[in-house]
Homo-oligomer: A and B are copies of this chain.
Amino acid sequence: MTKFINQKNDIINKLRGSGLRPTKQRILIAKNLFENNRTFHFTIDSLNKKISKKGNEKISLATIYNTVEAFTEAGYLKEILTSKNKSYYDTNIKSHHHFYDEGTKELTDINYNQVKLSKVPMAPKGKKIKNLEVVIRIQK
């Protein structure tokens, strides 16, 4: 009970800390994204479905888009670009890599230390490296 309250307070503080008002909708989305310890990958559509079940009050699709974008900008989510025509997001914000299964279209994490790069090019002059990601495409 205390734990539950604290979790909710944590979320509220997290939001406030990024200048985001802790609205009912944002709190509910944050619960669905961050309340269990395990991280996962999702799309707007899968998140929307996840929230729609459980008899929650409905959140409009526009709000889900807005909130996921806001959370991404705040650094609570990472956007993963591996797939055509659809954006994937990741609640694992640590630097890491991915398997992308072309059959099932599923992403799986590869721990950062499972990949070692012994040579990496410098950024072109005037530019700096924002991140480096390895994607390993797999299939049956």
What is the interface of chain A, defined by CB distance below 8 A to chain B? Answer: 79, 81-85, 87, 99, 101-102, 108, 110, 114-121, 123-124, 126-140
Q: How many chain copies does the complex carry?
A: 2
Bound state CA distance, A137 and B42, in angstroms? 22
Q: Are B139 and A127 in contact (CB under 8 A)?
A: yes
Residues of B near A114 (CB, < 8 A) are 119-121
Partner of A102, one of B123, B130, B136, B139: B130
- Given contacts A116-B119, A117-B117, A119-B115, A124 and B140 within 8 Å (CB-CB): no
- Given contacts A127-B138, A130-B139, A116 and B117 within 8 Å (CB-CB): yes
Q: Are B137 and A134 in contact (CB under 8 A)?
A: no
Bound state CA distance, A139 and B79, in angstroms? 16
Partner of A84, one of B87, B108, B117, B139: B87
- Given contacts A81-B84, A116-B117, A132 and B134 within 8 Å (CB-CB): yes
Bound state CA distance, A118 and B81, in angstroms? 24
Closest to A87 in B: B84
Q: Are B132 and A135 in contact (CB under 8 A)?
A: yes
Partner of A81, one of B82, B116, B119, B131: B82
Residues of B near A131 (CB, < 8 A) are 136-137
Residues of B near A130 (CB, < 8 A) are 102, 137-139
Partner of A123, one of B99, B126, B135: B99
